[in-house]
Homo-oligomer: A and B are copies of this chain.
């Protein structure tokens, strides 16, 4: 697995699985019917945001991650990151590899901490992954997410220092 900077040429390979993940409505606070132009602008907004992709030895897209300041101005020393792993590449440690890579990247960019604002509490694999990468739950928004089958579930704010 290679993790490298995303380029504009990667988007056509990102969009099909990103669209599928967002449409499922189980993990992201994005409009489930997001159009491609909006999705691209959200995922690849340009500096100061960064995006990377994970590809296998044959160059097949496995997943992608985005790194950006979580707040602006006096809050821009805390990073935010988002992750999308192709369902076809599940169970291969892509999320963990992207997480570790983005933590290193955030450190290199000078961020002091990383924060996730909206981890869906029912997304147990994600919560367990971030805990294993030393994130702690520092906040909980009661019923902040409408899950398509579980109804209202909490959103977690997760954080770690870098």
Contacts and interface: CB of A to CB of B under 8 A. Distances in A.
Contact of A145 (B75, B145, B148, B157): B75
A82 interface: no
A72 B30 contact: yes
Contact of A141 (B138, B144, B155): B138
Nearest to A25: B74
A30 B78 CA distance: 13
Nearest to A156: B139
Interface residues of A, number: 36
A74 B29 contact: yes
Interface string A123-158: 000000000000000111111111110000001010
A64 interface: no
A28 to B, nearest CB: 7
A159 interface: yes
Interface in A31-85: 31-32, 34, 71-78
A48 B141 CA distance: 21
A3 interface: no
